[in-house]
Structure 1
Amino acid sequence: MTAELQKRQSLLGVPKHDLIQDVPTRWNSSHSMIERLCEQRRVLNDIMLDEKITKKDHASLLLKDHEWDLLDQLSVFFKDFSEVTTFMSTESHVSLSHIYPIVCGLIRKNSIVNSDNPIIRKARESVISELQRRYSPTDEDIGKSILILASFLDPKYKALNFLSKEQKKVCMGEIESRMDDIPLRDSIPSSNDDSQPPAKRARKPSGIDYLTQFSPEKEKSTRENELENYLSDRIQPNEDPLLWWRKNEEKYPVLSKLAKKFLGVPATSVPPERFFSSAGLIITKLRNRLSSELVDKIIFLHKNKFT
């Protein structure tokens, strides 16, 4: 069958790709299977209509035109979800901050697009219903969630255009509250210089100390200015948020603390699961005497290498 498939692909000028089977444990395999079937439609029809190759008992497997049209529409429908799951499963970029922008985008797109096919229409309605049930995007209190805070701390999404005004106010209130929980002296980056300057004698109290002391009101004002400056700061839309915060850590000492706390959280369980796969590739029958400490170090170096 494989040889015949390749022969027909050459004759019909169709890409020489193998067929893909659906795997229940692989998120995108259904879309990959349907997309490949649509690509190989001419070849598959040609083979199915050839009585020398296809048995009469299998003739019923030949898809009708309306069934092929449905597969084409399903391929387009699944494409967004395939791209989203692939994007959210990578480890090379921040992922937590993308969840709500993507969820709201999927709901908006599937609400606008109309389809004459009742199956596709039902699928879109089901997707919208499930996303709303799982993420509650219209709930005012989601502004306090870690997912929304991560989106705000991602410079690309700091305007929170996917939220309502009420949700934005809740988010800003939560950000201000968390900023107040961080002592200002702890948020100032320390110098990398290990050398310690010689100790200085204690200065005698001066009559103008009351002018130079940092009051709680002044500290609060500083935090408010930091938040306002962050909101008005211009950014490059495709810039890595972690690199952006590294460059602006001294400019936004308090917010950078929050960014480090939230933006490093993975959005899915895929990265932790890959750790187990990596361990399985390292510990084999021929390498079964490695200590747990050494395995941890090898995995750490592998997962934190720069390419």
Structure 2
Amino acid sequence: MKSVVTWFKQSCVASDELRKATTNQKKLIQDVSTRWNSTYYMIDRFLELRGPINEIVIRHKSAPPMLSGMEQSIMSAVLPELRSLEAATKEISSDKYTTSSKIIPIMHCITSKIKSLFIEEPIAKEVQNIILREWELLSLLHH
């Protein structure tokens, strides 16, 4: 996915075609290694625009290969987990100084939200398990 997004960012022709193909002229979002949530935004926008992206990629010999249906399915399955983490990140980042009285309820809420997700995709299920294990470790540190 990253190579496709990078290709669109580097190709004026492809970017123009994508803007024309979407009713709201949205662009793809490139992730930034220092900000995890940029990966979430990249996946979300990519999935939103995958139809026009696919049509454009097919027409250009210089384009990198498009994600397979399986890869897109995995991204779609992981997105709700990342969306929950993004909501928590925004909430925690909204205050200049976040107190532990806010962190603990947010962690509980996110844990409940992620546990309640029904996930069939094995890789997305593994991501869910990793997130829950990490949250558990964090909650042990706060007690």
CA 1:95–1:29: 2 relative to 1, 3 Å: same
**Runs of 4 or more off by more than 4 Å in structure 1?**
none
The Cα shift of 1:25 comes to 0.9
The answer as to 2:87 corresponding to 1:83 is yes
Tell me, yes or no, if the aligned pair for 1:23 and 1:30 is still in contact at 8 Å: yes
Identify the residue that residue 23 of structure 1 maps to in structure 2: 32
Q: Among residues 108, 123, 134, which one is paired with 1:119 in the alignment?
A: 123
Q: Among residues 114, 129, 136, which one is paired with 1:110 in the alignment?
A: 114
Where do 5+ consecutive residues of structure 2 fail to align?
Answer: 1-10
Tell me, yes or no, if the aligned pair for 1:20 and 1:36 is still in contact at 8 Å: yes
The answer as to 2:89 corresponding to 1:99 is no
Letter of the structure 1 residue corresponding to residue 130 of structure 2: S
The answer as to 2:142 corresponding to 1:135 is no
The Cα shift of 1:78 comes to 0.5
More helix by share: 2
Q: Among residues 57, 65, 72, which one is paired with 1:68 in the alignment?
A: 72
Matches of 1:19 and 1:76, distance apart in 2: 19
TM superposition score normalised by structure 1: 0.39
Matches of 2:89 and 2:73, distance apart in 1: 25
Identify the residue that residue 58 of structure 2 maps to in structure 1: 49
Matches of 2:19 and 2:78, distance apart in 1: 24
For residues 185-206 of structure 1, the C-alpha deviation after alignment (integer angstroms, 9 at most, x for no partner) is xxxxxxxxxxxxxxxxxxxxxx
The Cα shift of 1:91 comes to 3.1
The answer as to 2:31 corresponding to 1:32 is no
The answer as to 2:5 corresponding to 1:5 is no
Letter of the structure 2 residue corresponding to residue 95 of structure 1: T
Matches of 1:105 and 1:71, distance apart in 2: 23
Matches of 1:8 and 1:26, distance apart in 2: 25
Matches of 1:26 and 1:65, distance apart in 2: 27
CA 1:124–1:8: 2 relative to 1, 3 Å: closer
Please tell me whether Structure 1 or Structure 2 has the larger radius of gyration of its CA atoms.
1
For residues 85-142 of structure 1, the C-alpha deviation after alignment (integer angstroms, 9 at most, x for no partner) is 12211236x73222111111122222222211011111111111111112129x9xx3
For residues 249-289 of structure 1, the C-alpha deviation after alignment (integer angstroms, 9 at most, x for no partner) is xxxxxxxxxxxxxxxxxxxxxxxxxxxxxxxxxxxxxxxxx
Tell me, yes or no, if the aligned pair for 2:111 and 2:132 is still in contact at 8 Å: yes
Matches of 2:84 and 2:108, distance apart in 1: 13
The Cα shift of 1:76 comes to 2.1
CA 1:127–1:8: 2 relative to 1, 3 Å: closer
CA RMSD of aligned residues (A): 2.3
Letter of the structure 2 residue corresponding to residue 77 of structure 1: E
The 3-state SS of whatever aligns with 1:28 is helix
Letter of the structure 1 residue corresponding to residue 52 of structure 2: V
Aligned pairs for 1:1-307 (under 5 A) are 1-10=11-20, 12-50=21-59, 53-55=60-62, 58=63, 61-91=65-95, 95-96=98-99, 97-136=101-140, 142=143
TM superposition score normalised by structure 2: 0.78
The 3-state SS of whatever aligns with 2:36 is coil
Q: How many residues align?
A: 132
The Cα shift of 1:62 comes to 1.3
Letter of the structure 2 residue corresponding to residue 34 of structure 1: I
Tell me, yes or no, if the aligned pair for 2:77 and 2:119 is still in contact at 8 Å: no
Tell me, yes or no, if the aligned pair for 2:22 and 2:52 is still in contact at 8 Å: no
The 3-state SS of whatever aligns with 1:79 is helix
